[in-house]
Amino acid sequence: MKRSVNFLARSKGVVRYAGLLIIMMLAVSFMSGCMYPGDKRQENAVSYRESVDRIQNALNQFQADKGILPIITAGEEVPRYEKFRIDLDKLHKMGYIDEIPATAFEQGGSAYFLVIDEETNPTVKVMDLVTVQKVNDVQRLVDQYGRSNPGQWPVTSETEVYPGLHEVDLNKVRGENYALTSVFSREQLPYIVDANGQVYVDYAWDIMQAIDKSGSAVSEEDGDLRVILSNQSYFVPVKSLPYAWLDGAPVPQVE
């Protein structure tokens, strides 16, 4: 009888331990997922094809009916690839779309839907908000470092990686958790910082991959090379500088 009681006690202890272990695992999983809602979607390379196609059709019809684009007004200071955000609520309320896509920020998703080439060929694209949030977080860390170290920024080397630009050293700001996976190539991309401490994503690798994929010749006379990325993808290169072709490579241009 004593042996049975001891066995039962040990069994209850195992159950309690297992239950506690499960709770701890769930808590860790929840906490790691809270930093960037939508990061899981990014890592799983969610396809935006259906959402983009549906919104593009709605945008085309809205423009044909109303003579304008259903976009939210933005100031001149807003960067090109963040500027013309589509008013999905308006499209939905006016019956141009049955529902707002689950991938959209308005529905708890991790993307804004934008219009590019608004004057000549209005085209729907996706702005990844995980990328935006990570750049904002790194910017905050860089700003804090600059306040503690006047006249300095947390860079990997005193040598510029591009004219007027240095690579951000995430280790110096304890920002290893903010490593960025590209929505274009799935490769890890560096952050770069200008003399004023403004942080950007360096898309040079992605642009080079896109150029190789297109098989087209590129010259120094070509305009902003970021258009090559948006032409080959549903995404836009958010939080970036314009790129020019110099000495056989894409180089970001400090504005």
Dihedrals phi, psi of 165, to nearest 5 degrees: -135, 140
Q: CA-to-CA distance for 19 and 9, rounded, in angstroms?
A: 15
Task: Count how many residues are written for the chain.
Answer: 255
pTM of model > 0.75: yes
Tens-binned pLDDT, residue by residue, of the chain (255 aa): 433 334 334 444 433 433 433 333 333 333 333 445 544 444 334 568 899 999 999 999 999 999 999 999 888 899 999 999 999 999 999 999 999 999 999 999 999 999 999 999 999 999 999 999 999 999 999 999 999 999 999 999 999 999 999 999 999 999 999 999 999 999 999 999 999 999 999 999 999 999 999 888 888 888 999 999 999 999 999 999 999 999 999 999 997
Please tell me whether residue 50 adopts helix, strand or coil conformation.
helix
Q: CA-to-CA distance for 36 and 105, rounded, in angstroms?
A: 13
CB atoms within 10 A of CB 140: 14
